């Protein structure tokens, strides 16, 4: 593995961890400032990620599009759109870092946009992970995680996706983020990690079919 590949993997892992933490809103760190700093950190990492993968973006309008490439492009472009909405709505909602901009309008729109884009971002990131796990994913399945354990994790991820109402956020049936304080943040993180695994596996299986 080259230095660039190691750097990419480190950034991807850090971005995934930050995404899970930020999905908990201000419940892990009640201070708005911490949430905003982590959010800005995530967007900075996104800038680095795009810079490292600039060749992929520069080739987006070149070459033939087979089913797998279409799937990959749609997922990546949707992540980019969600990221843009998250950044704009986060700046509008800011109570600390961006107050100097004195933005006092469209707060209702920004709140809904932030809720909606954050959950779609989380979903597409999960699919993105499934596309890029490659041999590492196969080794985890074959050597570290027995297939039955992976299947159970996916089943729990499906349960968490439904029971925690994640699907409601995706279609705005639930317009306010709810955090069950009695369950605590550890169980919350386990739920969202299992959802990531679920959609990563689905993405990987679909990608394998398309490549055939």
**H helix runs in the chain, sequence order:** 3-23, 32-52, 54-58, 67-93, 107-132, 134-139, 147-163, 166-170, 184-211
- Whether the predicted pLDDT of 121 surpasses 90: yes
- Whether the predicted pLDDT of 58 surpasses 70: yes
pLDDT score recorded for residue 187: 85
Say what angle helices 32-52 and 3-23 make with each other, to 10 degrees. 150
Most confident of 57-61, 85-89, 177-181: 85-89
Banded model confidence at residue 71, pLDDT cuts 50, 70, 90: very high
Banded model confidence at residue 139, pLDDT cuts 50, 70, 90: low
Q: What is the pLDDT of residues 14-24, one digit of tens each?
A: 998 888 888 87
- Whether the predicted pLDDT of 140 surpasses 80: no
């Amino acid at each position: 593995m080259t230095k660039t590949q190691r750097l990419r993997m480190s950034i991807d892992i850090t971005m995934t961890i930050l995404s899970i933490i930020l999905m908990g809103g201000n419940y892990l760190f009640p201070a708005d400032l911490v949430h905003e700093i982590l959010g800005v950190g995530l967007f900075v990492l996104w800038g680095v990620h795009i810079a490292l993968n600039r060749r992929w973006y520069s080739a987006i309008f070149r070459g033939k599009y087979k089913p797998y490439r279409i799937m990959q492009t749609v997922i990546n472009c949707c992540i980019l759109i969600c990221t843009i909405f998250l950044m704009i709505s986060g700046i509008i909602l800011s109570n600390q870092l961006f107050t100097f901009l004195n933005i006092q309008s469209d707060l209702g729109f920004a709140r809904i946009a932030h809720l909606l884009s954050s959950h779609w971002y989380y979903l597409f990131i999960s699919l993105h992970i499934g596309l890029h796990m490659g041999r590492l994913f196969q080794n985890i399945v074959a050597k570290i995680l027995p297939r039955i354990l992976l299947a159970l994790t996916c089943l729990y991820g499906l349960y968490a996706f439904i029971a925690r109402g994640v699907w409601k956020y995706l279609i705005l049936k639930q317009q306010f983020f709810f955090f069950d304080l009695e369950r605590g943040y550890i169980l919350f993180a386990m739920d969202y990690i299992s959802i990531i695994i679920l959609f990563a596996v689905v993405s990987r299986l679909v990608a394998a079919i398309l490549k055939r």
